[in-house]
């Protein structure tokens, strides 16, 4: 995915009129993406994991707020830098697992189960860090 496509993708979620309208600007999305990529442990793929990590940086470092009507969604809002780092590492592990599955051309059903498992591991690891 080209970076311009990724920025458009992020803005379609968090920009003005986006699915979760935080009114993020292109300038801030680019800066948050640059910051995210500095600390990335896995290749940047421009997927939903990368988008959500950029969202977390927009909230934590750029002062954006999560729309009130969607507060039930999990974010890293108000969490420590260590918790955000742990969540980022958990996402990277999940991405490595997905890439491993793709390389082995697993069947769709097996792949979906593995993805669900990887995402659950990432969620639990992030929650454990947040509880500390």
What pLDDT score was predicted for residue 54?
93
What b/e string do you get for 10-37 counting C-beta neighbours within 10 Å, with b at 16 or more?
bbebbbeeeebebebbeebbbbbbebbe
Based on the domain organization, do 28 and 49 belong to the same domain?
Answer: yes
User: 39 is in which domain, residue-wise?
Assistant: 1-76
Q: How far apart are CA 55 and CA 62, in angstroms?
A: 10
Based on the domain organization, do 9 and 23 belong to the same domain?
Answer: yes
The answer to whether the CB of 48 falls within 8 A of the CB of 67 is no
Domains held by the chain: number? 2
Secondary structure class of 15 (helix, strand, coil): strand
Based on the domain organization, do 122 and 69 belong to the same domain?
Answer: no
- High-pLDDT (> 90) share of the chain, %: 33
The answer to whether the CB of 111 falls within 8 A of the CB of 94 is no
Based on the domain organization, do 107 and 72 belong to the same domain?
Answer: no
Model pLDDT for residues 67-102, shown as the tens digit of each residue: 755 444 444 445 555 665 666 666 666 666 666 667
């Amino acid at each position: 995915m080209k970076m311009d496509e990724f920025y458009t993708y992020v803005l379609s979620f968090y920009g003005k009129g986006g699915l979760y309208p935080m009114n993020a600007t292109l300038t801030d999305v680019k800066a948050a993406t640059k910051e995210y990529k500095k600390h990335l442990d896995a290749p940047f793929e421009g997927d939903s994991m990368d988008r959500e990590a950029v969202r977390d940086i927009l909230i934590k470092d750029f002062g954006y707020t999560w729309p009130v009507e969607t507060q039930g969604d999990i974010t890293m809002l108000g969490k420590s830098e260590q918790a955000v780092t742990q969540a980022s590492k958990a996402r990277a592990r999940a991405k490595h697992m997905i890439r491993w599955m793709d390389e082995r051309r697993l069947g769709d059903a097996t792949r979906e189960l593995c993805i669900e498992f990887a995402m659950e591991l990432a969620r639990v690891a992030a929650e454990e860090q947040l509880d500390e």
